Structure 1
Amino acid sequence: MKVLLATALGSLGCAALAYLYWRTCWFYRNPTRTPPDTEGLVSPADGTVVYVKRVPPKEKVITIKKGVRAAVEDIARTDLESEKVLIGVFMSPFNVHYNRAPLSGIVRSIRDTPACGGNRCMGWMHLRTVLGLRPFQQNSLHLLQNQRKVTRIDGRFKSAPIHCYVVQIAARTVGGIDSYTEPGAFIPRSAIFGMIRIGSQVDLVVPWREDMRIQVHPGDRVKAGETVLID
């Protein structure tokens, strides 16, 4: 009996130490990232690509569940009149959580939007990405309701002016959405501009151009600041 008790206490102690290490050290790891030589737009987050959509103006493109659909404007909280590309990256609690700039440019605006009735759990999306069940966004009401921070960056793509929106979406367990820049500041491509603490999601919204080539698909694993999303 004493042996079993000692074993149980030892296991609990190891689990507690593992949790503390993950929560205080591993979660805040910040590996060096080197952007590719090409001038493509890089991923703003580590994680799994959950949707890639080329979207006409005003069209509701994300089906969450029967009778519930979302437009890009619902996610980015801004009205985009032109055709655009929407790429969503889900970050599990085990991914690196620092967010990086998709392109070099000037931070034009940073806008916070509070949750509508409290942040919803992202458990459905996490489970579906782990099991490979598509569509990954099914039953994920956090896309419509959760707190988010939308950062607009104005830069250049293939020598022509372009802007993009990076949408940081909080989970129920999030301790905060951090921003390390401010409007008017210049930020290099792949540089850290913010962080979301614990599981979360980051979306990239870019006006579509005919010279663009999307390089990722739902289910792909990406690294912030390194993986090219659009070339």
Structure 2
Amino acid sequence: MRLHREGYTIMLTTGLVLLALNLLAYFYLFSSQPTAIIVLLVASLVLFGLVVQFFRVPNRQLTRAESQVIAPADGTIVVIEETEESEYFKERRRQISIFMSPLNVHVNRNPVTGIVRYFKYYPGKYLVAWHPKSSTENERTTIVIQLANGVEVLLRQIAGAVARRIVWYVKENQPVEQGTELGFIKFGSRVDVFLPLDADVKVKIGDRTKGGVTVLAELPS
């Protein structure tokens, strides 16, 4: 396991602030109250541990298959439905949504191998990730990857009530490889994937996914 570079500044800042707070408590605020000092120290260690775990990147054997769409994120499947995709396709598609809690790994990965044909970033609101309007009103990105056979897969990173920063590493006309890092969403959110209607979905509501490993669907040839 390693720690993601997106967390270096946050982890360092958090560590320094907690260290300063504990030193202040030890020498000035609670110098005669050892129990209070211990409680503060334990709470600080737990908080720092939560911040560090958020930026973990576990070692994994990634799934690689041209005909399969792999989960772009860790989380829980909260939506599987046929819906109108109005931004790019402007027609009906199969939507699969993954909710990412603050305890999930937050690296986003390319679900397929291909060429990025479309990219757009939208500033926006910070509604809770499961809100029906979060996919159209929250801060988000839309990324469309075209496979070698011409099939296109759309992925949308969506910020939530806690997530306040979306990071992406792709741009239009860039070739991408399945399983490689696409971006990062800090502190919990959601990722939507839009597939052709004839895609064979392999997951169900409530399933837990592992980014780069779990097969979401089999694409038509």
Q: Using a 3 Å threshold, how does the CA distance of structure 1 residues 33 and 187 change in structure 2: closer, same or farther?
A: farther
Aligned with residue 113 of structure 1, among 116, 119, 122: 122
SS at 2:97 equivalent: strand
Do 1:43 and 1:225's aligned partners in 2 also have CA atoms closer than 8 Å?
yes
**1:48–1:221 contact (8 Å) kept in structure 2:** yes
Asked whether the equivalents of residues 64 and 179 of structure 2 are also in contact (C-alpha less than 8 Å), the reply is: no
Alignment RMSD (CA, Å): 2.2
In the TM superposition, residue 171 of structure 1 has moved relative to its aligned partner by: 1.5
Q: Residue in 2 aligned with 1:54?
A: 82
Secondary structure of 2:108 counterpart: strand
Partner of 2:21: none
Which residue, out of 79, 89, 99, partners 1:90? Answer: 99
1:82–1:207 CA contact under 8 A, matched in 2: no
Partner of 1:172: helix, strand, or coil? coil
| 1:180 maps to 2:181 | no
Identity %: 30
Is the 2:77–2:98 contact (alpha carbons within 8 Å) kept by the matching residues of 1?
yes
Measure how far apart 1:140 and its partner are.
5.1
1:31 match: 58
2:41 corresponds to which residue? 13
Does residue 149 (structure 1) correspond to residue 141 (structure 2)? The answer is yes
Counterparts of 2:132 and 2:34 in 1: how far apart (Å)? 42
Aligned residue pairs, count:
187
1:219 has 2:211 as partner: no
SS in 2 for 1:167: strand
Scaled by the length of structure 2, the TM-score of the pair is: 0.76
| Partner Cα separation in structure 2 for residue 187 and residue 82 of structure 1 | 25
For structure 2, the 5+ residue unaligned runs are 1-29
Deviations 1:160-218 (A, max 9, x none): 32111110000133241111122111111111110000011000012223xx3110111
Please say if residues 34 and 190 of structure 1, whose CA atoms lie closer than 8 Å, have aligned partners that are also in contact. Answer: no
* Mapping of residues 123-138 of structure 1, within 5 Å: 137=130
| TM-score of the pair, normalised by structure 1 | 0.73
Which 10-residue stretch deviates more, 6-15 or 192-201? 6-15
Structure number with greater CO (CA < 8 Å, separation at least 6) is 1
Instruction: Please name the residue that 1:190 is paired with.
Output: 179
Cα distance between partner residues in 2 of 1:121 and 1:6: 40
State whether residues 33 and 190 of structure 1, in contact with CA within 8 Å, keep that contact through their aligned partners in structure 2.
Answer: no
Partner of 2:216: 229
Q: CA deviation at 1:44?
A: 0.8
